[in-house]
Amino acid sequence: MLLFFSAFAGATLLPLSSEVAFGATILTHPNSTACLVVATIGNTLGITFNFLLGRGLLKWQRFQRLLDRPKLNSAKSLSDRFGPYVIYLSWLPIIGDPITVYLGTTKMSFPHFALIGFTLRFLRYYLIYLLLKT
C-alpha cells in the first residue's frame, strides 16, 4: 500500500521520488512482479491526476486571464505538432511531472496520453527492477 501511494505521489508535482521506495520494496518483497504492477498503476494514476489538473486549469477563470487566447492556441498547435514527442520525455525526473500537466492544458487525447504514459512508467520501473535484481 505504501508503494502505491509513493508511486502516485511521486508522479504528481510533489517533490518526491517513487524510485527509492520501489527499489527498497523489490529488494525486500518476495513478489517483485506484484511490486512492479502496483508501482506502475500508482504512477500512472499520478500522471492522470496531473493531466486532469491541467484540464481543470483551463476551466479556472483566473488562470484563463493569465493566458491570452493566441498564446493558448499557439501552445495547442505546438502540442499537436510535437505532442507525441513531448510525452516521451514525461518519464524523466523533474521535467516529467510538469509535462503531464502541460499536456492536460493542451487537451491532448486522453487515451493516447494514458497508453504512452502507462508504457513509459512500466518500462522505467522494469529497468530499475532489472538493474536491482541482477
pLDDT digits (tens, 9 = 90+) for 35-72: 999 999 999 999 999 999 888 887 776 666 555 555 55
What is the C-alpha to C-alpha distance for residues 96 and 85, in angstroms, rounded to an integer? 12
Which CA distances in Å does 6 have to 92, 126, 134?
Answer: 17, 17, 24
Question: What global pTM score does this model have?
Answer: 0.83
pLDDT value for 54: 87
The pLDDT score that the predictor gives to residue 32 is 87
Domain count, the chain: 1
Q: Is pLDDT above 60 for 112?
A: yes
Q: Using the predicted structure, report yes or no on whether residue 87 has a pLDDT greater than 80.
A: yes
Average pLDDT along the chain: 84
**58: burial class by Cβ within 10 Å (0-12, 13-18, 19+)?**
middle
The confidence band for 75, taking pLDDT boundaries of 50, 70 and 90, is low
pLDDT for 12 equals 87
**Comparison of pLDDT for 10 and 70, the residue scoring more:** 10
Output the CA torsion 100→124→14→26 (10° steps): 150
* Phi, psi angles (nearest 5°) of residue 12: -85, -175
List helix spans (H) across the chain.
2-11, 18-28, 32-59, 61-66, 69-87, 96-105, 110-133
Q: What percent of the chain has pLDDT over 70?
A: 83
How high is the pLDDT of residue 57?
80
**pLDDT > 80? residue 126:** yes
Residues 131 and 134: their CA atoms lie apart, in Å, by: 6
Does residue 89 carry a pLDDT above 80? Answer: yes
Q: Which domain holds residue 59?
A: 2-133
